[in-house]
Amino acid sequence: MSDQTIIITGGAGFIGSHVVRRFVTAYPDYTIINLDKLTYAGNLANLKDIEDAPNYKFVKGDICDTAFIESLFETYKPDAVIHLAAESHVDRSITNPLDFVMTNVVGTVTLLNVAKNAWKGAYDKHRFYHVSTDEVYGSLGAEGMFEETTAYDPHSPYSASKASSDHFVRAYYDTYGMDCVISNCSNNYGSHHFPEKLIPLSINNIKQNKPIPIYGKGENVRDWLFVEDHARAIDIIFHKAASGTTYNIGGHNEWTNIDLIHLLCAIMDQKLGREAGASAKLITYVTDRAGHDLRYAIDATKLQEELGWAPSLQFEEGLERTVDWYLANEDWLQNVTSGAYQQYYEHQYKR
């Protein structure tokens, strides 16, 4: 479809802002509606460069608010939804699980339900794309990878809420025949990442000579993917995937947390003109995350073979680009780490 209208939810967040930017710039004939509640994680400064684009519109609102979502569908008559809005931080889900049930489960079902009613009789002309996580598959031991067929086994309130939302999306496909697609991605990194997550939090702390908190022994493994590669995968899956399909997205890029942080420290030493080894002295082992998943690793063969996607960047290059962005965007970092962030930090790390 050359001139479709797409609602992208959570477009002011980390990944959402990269997806919005990609669609607004790559598809000038599309109309992109960014629907976001602007929680602590949502930031319109993430989209400054495209906010005046003629095919872009921001609407503030809550995906749990049925009347609001209905009016949005009435006004814009969207052809499709790409759904990223969520509570996304595992540690916050351990403190406030109900917030995750509301946004990730109730919010997703609210969107699905409004879409079901609005698109009735024309499901073949409308797509609901749900962006999910590899955490739904649970935790791996030393061997193996998550495949699309791996049984769900979530452990945190965050991953349980995302698993539930995935099940609801499949239920709407199976029950009502809606055109639904899901992707499950590994850990993203890159610009505009909120500094509650490991990489941007560590960059911020290293910059300020503050301790770098490593949970447990730092032996947990994550599979890191550059956020722009995720946005490109979403673009490809949205346009090419068959209805009812699921794709895993990942970087084939596993790192223990401690090895990753040593690499980051080395890059930061060089960028900040510090002597080699200076930043690594900030590494501080702290109490482990409750229920901490040991290892995630994605097998993205299906996406590569069926739709031709592959990651574009080596991790070292992507991490260096990420550090450069944070060092060049001091105002952004200061803005998001003032106020409520301080209270969050105190609560999370000073126990």
Contacts with ligand NAD, residue ranges (CB under 6 A): 9-10, 12-16, 36-39, 41-42, 62-64, 84-86, 88, 103, 107, 131, 133, 162, 185, 187-188, 194
H or E stretch including 7?
strand 5-9
Length of the chain in residues, anyone? 351
User: 10 touches which of ligand NAD, ligand DAU, none (CB within 5 to 8 A by kind)?
Assistant: ligand NAD
- Closest separation in Å from C-beta 210 to ligand DAU: 11
- 222 contact choice in ligand DAU, ligand NAD, none (CB below 5 to 8 Å, kind-dependent): ligand DAU
Q: How far is the CB of 295 from ligand DAU (least distance, A)?
A: 9
Q: Which distant-in-sequence residues (6+ apart) come within 8 Å of 27 by Cβ?
A: 55
Q: Which is nearer to ligand DAU, 88 or 165 (CB)?
A: 88
- Give the single-character DSSP code of 65: -
Computed on alpha carbons and rounded to an integer, the radius of gyration of the chain in Å comes to 20
Minimum Å gap between C-beta 165 and ligand NAD is 8
In the bound state with ligand NAD, the residue whose beta carbon lies nearer, of 86 and 180, is 86
Question: Residue with the closest Cβ to ligand NAD?
Answer: 13
To the query of whether residue 52 is one of the catalytic residues in this protein, the response is no
Other CB atoms within 10 A of residue 33 CB? 21
* Structure-block tokens of residue 286: 């702290």
Determine whether 51 is an active site residue: no
The values of phi and psi at residue 267, to 5°, are -65, -45
220 and 260 in contact (C-beta within 8 Å)? no
How many helices (DSSP H) and strands (DSSP E) are in the chain? 13, 12
Cα–Cα distances in Å, from 187 out to 257, 271, 341?
12, 24, 22
Tokens coding 223: 């599979």
SS3 call for 248: strand
Residue with smaller CB distance to ligand DAU, 21 or 222: 222
What is the distance between the alpha carbons of residues 234 and 238, in angstroms, rounded to a whole number? Answer: 6
Q: Which is nearer to ligand DAU, 14 or 73 (CB)?
A: 14
Return the percent helix, strand and coil in the chain, to nearest 5.
50, 15, 35
* Residue 289 binds: one of ligand DAU, ligand NAD, none (C-beta under 5 to 8 A by kind): ligand DAU
158 is catalytic: yes
| 214 touches, from ligand DAU, ligand NAD, none (C-beta below 5 to 8 Å by class) | ligand DAU
Nearer residue to ligand DAU within complex by CB, 50 or 214: 214
Q: Which two tokens stand for residue 337?
A: 């780490």
Q: How far is CA 152 from the centre of its chain?
A: 19
- Least distance from C-beta 90 to ligand NAD, angstroms? 10
Active-site position among 36, 62, 79, 134: 134
**Distance in Å, CB of 320 to ligand NAD, minimum:** 19
Catalytic residue among 135, 196, 228, 293: 135
> Looking at 158, 173, 189, 247, which residue is catalytic?
158
User: Active-site residue numbers?
Assistant: 134-135, 158
